[in-house]
Amino acid sequence: MCEVSGAVRPIGTGMLDDGVTLAPGDWVLVHMGFAMELISEADAAAAVGSLEMLGAEPVSPAAMPDLSADAAPPGWSSW
What does the pLDDT look like over 38-79, one tens digit per residue? 999 999 888 888 878 887 666 555 555 555 556 666 666 554
Q: Which amino acid is at 49?
A: G
Whole-number pLDDT of residue 16: 93
Cα–Cα dist 17/56, whole Å: 28
**According to the 3-state scheme, what is the secondary structure of 18-63?**
CCCCCCCCCEEEEECCEEEEEECHHHHHHHHHHHHHCCCCCCCHHH
pTM over 0.75: no
* pLDDT value at 4 more than 70: yes
